[in-house]
Chain A
Amino acid sequence: MQLTSNQINHIDYVLRNDYSFEYFDDLRIELLDHISTDVEAEMKNNEILFADALTRVLFKWKDEISWDRTSKYDSVPKMVSKLWKKLDWKYNYCIVPLTALLCFGSMLYRKEDWVTYVMYSIGCIGLVLGFYLMNLFSKNRFNTVLSIYAEDQIKIYVGVLVFALFVNLSINYSDGDLLSQPALFIIVHTTFVFVMRTFIMRKNIKIENQLLKVM
């Protein structure tokens, strides 16, 4: 028993409006297909109407597609917040010890000017990646779970990096001493954030290409 396009559109409407999947194009498309297939099977196996079958199927899904009120990401469906929390460990939390290690390492050589140049180079890489990411997001044709995660607060991060570089340069210029690096941690940390998010966006390109192929 195949669903009509009106019935499929109705499921799409429910996912967008009742369960906040409006902004997750990739996930909504996937769920739409799964729920539609499940509804077709319910209608066929239990000889029930579309509305009853949809209620049954949505009941099965309720926990996963409702908001996760206990999570840090409390305004997105639970299945999104689950993935984002896993990504946090891989792409966010691991940056802190890495930054600390690099900053501590640079402290050991802080009497040498080359350390300052290395730090400024890292800051410049961060700045380039930050603007590259902002450019990518402005051209984004689809919102996916990965792209929304990578876009989170990106403008604030770029602003913070620019400000940190400005503070460091001003201090170095005003006292003529290249060795003071008050915003070192911020510069390194923000650069790492951009590196990780560039990795995420590289993965997202594949998903976007697939979406472009079928939409």
Chain B
Amino acid sequence: MKKQQQLYKGSLNTIIMKLLEQQGKMYGYEITQKVKEITRGEMNITEGALYPALHKMEADGFLDVEMDRVDGRIRKYYKLTESGVKETVSRMEELENFIRNMQNIVTGPNLKLEM
């Protein structure tokens, strides 16, 4: 499980952006729970990884913020900016290529890896 977490780590920003593309806007806690739900608990985004990633993407102009008052406290929602949407498309293409190549390497007839 730990090794799998390492594999996910490199794609954290892409995962967050893809989720925001699908859901429109999300807050930090919601992102961690959604990822846990989709991966059936296999991927656990720690707060220590999530917020630096969100804040960096916000500073880079890929994310916009919106605040609302919910249950007596203020909730900060993140959503993609226009450049964020473009960046998501290009990152998803990169990720799909990567997955395809890995699949070819692992299952290819000439490069069958012994497990």
Cβ of A22 under 8 Å from chain B: no
Cβ of A30 under 8 Å from chain B: yes
Report the separation of the CA atoms of residues A34 and B68 in the bound assembly, to the nearest whole angstrom: 14
A17 to chain B, nearest CB (A): 18
Nearest B residue to A37 via CB reads B29
Number of B interface residues at 8 Å Cβ cutoff, please give it: 26
Report chain A residues within 8 Å CB of B113. none
A-B contact count (CB 8 A): 73
Report chain A residues within 8 Å CB of B72. 3, 5, 8
Given contacts A8-B73, A79-B52, 15 further A-B contacts (CB under 8 A): A3-B71, A29-B76, A33-B75, A36-B71, A61-B47, A63-B48, A64-B48, A79-B48, A83-B52, A83-B55, A207-B65, A213-B67, A214-B67, A214-B69, A215-B74
Chain A contacts to B: CB under 8 angstroms:
2-3, 5, 8, 26, 29-30, 32-34, 36-38, 60-61, 63-64, 78-79, 82-83, 86-87, 90, 145-146, 203, 206-207, 210-211, 213-215
Report chain B residues within 8 Å CB of A87. 59
Known: A30-B28, A33-B29, A213-B67. A64 touches B73 (CB 8 A): no
Report the separation of the CA atoms of residues A168 and B64 in the bound assembly, to the nearest whole angstrom: 43
In-complex Cβ contact of A79 among B51, B58, B75 (8 A): B51
